[in-house]
Amino acid sequence: EAAVTQSPRSKVAVTGGKVTLSCHQTNNHDYMYWYRQDTGHGLRLIHYSYVADSTEKGDIPDGYKASRPSQENFSLILELASLSQTAVYFCASSAAGGGSDYTFGSGTRLLVI
Amino acid sequence: SQWGEENLQALSIQEGEDVTMNCSYKTYTTVVHWYRQDSGRGPALIILIRSNEREKRSGRLRATLDTSSQSSSLSITAAQCEDTAVYFCATDGTGGYKVVFGSGTRLLVSP
């Protein structure tokens, strides 16, 4: 079954440390996305990619980097984690951008202390 | 109605009631997505309605789209307890490469 798998499921990080969130999809989709969800709010787009070895900035890219080494894998990197980056992070994939349905992972709950 | 950075809205109904959630969007879109998010899970697509469709149904769900007023709605007929979730609308944004999510509606269906 096609899926989007995120790791880790949860993480505690210290302020100023480096955090890497990983995402793997078996959907054979070209597009992959990283969203952030804060308690009581919707999802906001951080970075996205429509081809391997290329990433694009979303609506809230500051403080985050992304890496797409292959079609299947998309990582989100927090070089210097901050308290304000405590949130749940979701990865998603789609076949053809915003006009097609998205498949989401189960999320990574990040707590920065 | 949901959009932008507003806090999550909340609706509470009894089992068996009908409910409608509204969504207004700011920019042209070719498609409106409706997602359902259960607690601790990622969003899951429930209906996708395109700009050339005014209405789309899936079981007890009905989505409408009015491109002239830039609004969409999701209705659930005879809601059941298992419909309890957060519901998001999303549009394909300005560039078409990405989906922009509304703030969501938390629906609680009580027995």
Domains and CATH numbers, chain B: 9-110 (2.60.40.10)
* Torsions phi, psi for A101 (to 5 deg): -70, 150
Residue whose tokens read 């969501």: B104
Which DSSP category does B19 fall into?
E
Q: Of the candidates A63, A37, A60, which has an alpha carbon nearest to the alpha carbon of residue A47?
A: A60
For B55-105, the pLDDT digits (tens) are 999 999 999 999 899 899 999 999 999 999 999 999 886 556 778 888 899
Token pair in block for residue B29: 């879109």
The predicted pLDDT at position B95 comes to 56
The predicted pLDDT at position B93 comes to 67
The answer to whether the CB atoms of A98 and B91 lie below 8 A apart is: yes
pLDDT over 50 at A1, yes or no: yes
Q: What percent of chain B has pLDDT over 70?
A: 88
Of A97, A98, A104, the CB nearest to B43: A104
Q: How far, in Å, CA of B22 to CA of B15, rounded?
A: 20
Q: How far, in Å, CA of A102 to CA of A108, rounded?
A: 17
Reduce the DSSP state of residue A85 to 3 states and report it: helix
Q: What percent of chain A has pLDDT over 90?
A: 87
The answer to whether the CB atoms of B43 and A102 lie below 8 A apart is: yes
The predicted pLDDT at position B84 comes to 97
Give the C-alpha distances (Å, rounded to integers) separating B29 from A2, A92, B72, B93, B98. Answer: 27, 20, 11, 6, 11
Beta-strand pair A10-13/A54-57: unpaired
Give the chain B residue whose CA is nearest to the CA of A103: B44
The answer to whether the CB atoms of A106 and B42 lie below 8 A apart is: yes
> Quick one: pLDDT band at residue B7, thresholds 50, 70, 90?
low
For A86-100, the pLDDT digits (tens) are 999 999 999 877 677
Token pair in block for residue A3: 């899926």
The predicted pLDDT at position B9 comes to 84
The answer to whether the CB atoms of A42 and B45 lie below 8 A apart is: no
Of B42, B44, B98, the CB nearest to A107: B42
Reduce the DSSP state of residue B20 to 3 states and report it: strand
- Residues from chain B that touch A90, judged by Cβ atoms under 8 A, are 42-43
The answer to whether the CB atoms of B104 and A107 lie below 8 A apart is: no
What does the mean pLDDT of chain B come to?
88
Better-predicted residue by pLDDT, B3 or B23: B23
Reduce the DSSP state of residue A86 to 3 states and report it: coil
pLDDT over 60 at B3, yes or no: no
Q: Of the candidates A70, A102, A86, which has an alpha carbon nearest to the alpha carbon of residue A37?
A: A86
> Quick one: pLDDT band at residue B5, thresholds 50, 70, 90?
very low
- Residues from chain A that touch B8, judged by Cβ atoms under 8 A, are 40-42
